[in-house]
Amino acid sequence: MGDWIPPPSDVLKFNVDGSVRGTAGQAGIRGVLWVNPSNILCSFSIGIGVQDLITAEILAIAKACELCISQMELTGKSIVINSDSRAAVSWINNEDLGNINFSHLIYDIRNILLRLGKTTVEFSSRASNSLADTLAKQGSAREEDVLVWNLS
């Protein structure tokens, strides 16, 4: 599982990643929300058609935000969304919207983060995000989306 670093005991970690075959090809996004490697609360793996890598990375972060806000059980929890895309994380966390083509996605993500209150988006190295990376590659080949919740 690489160098996965567990969050503090009162924080949930959502590792996300995007994967693209080639420069712009079949793409997939994946995320895993967990307390620790043996306690996974949610996972998703979704094919997103033909995209470039930065689009896939931003869509993975957006999906994690959407899932966090969709579950009442996560209200008030501190959640760190980790991505190995330095550019995507920078655009989301700074006033600069980055590439104009992503401004609507960045704006939507920022609004969800404001509503969630205790959720942040942080950069993590590929090594510490290896499970999400592996599963995103699988998502690019999927014919069906997968979303699994385990909040009990």
pLDDT (tens place) for every residue of the chain, 152 residues total: 456 677 777 899 999 999 898 888 899 999 999 887 778 899 999 999 999 999 999 999 999 999 999 999 898 899 999 999 999 999 999 877 778 888 999 999 999 999 999 999 999 886 655 665 555 555 555 578 889 999 87
Burial of 35 (0-12, 13-18, 19+ CB in 10 A): middle
pLDDT at 135: 55
Q: Would you say 135 and 32 are in contact if contact means Cβ atoms under 8 Å apart?
A: yes
**pTM passes above 0.85:** yes
pLDDT at 65: 97
pLDDT at 133: 57
Q: Which residues contact 112 (CB under 8 A, 6 or more apart)?
A: 65, 66, 68, 69, 119
What sign does the CA torsion over 48, 54, 55, 57 have? positive
pLDDT at 35: 84
Cα distance between residue 149 and residue 13, in whole Å: 15
CATH ID of 15-149, from 3.30.420.10, 3.20.20.70, 3.40.50.2300, 3.40.228.10: 3.30.420.10
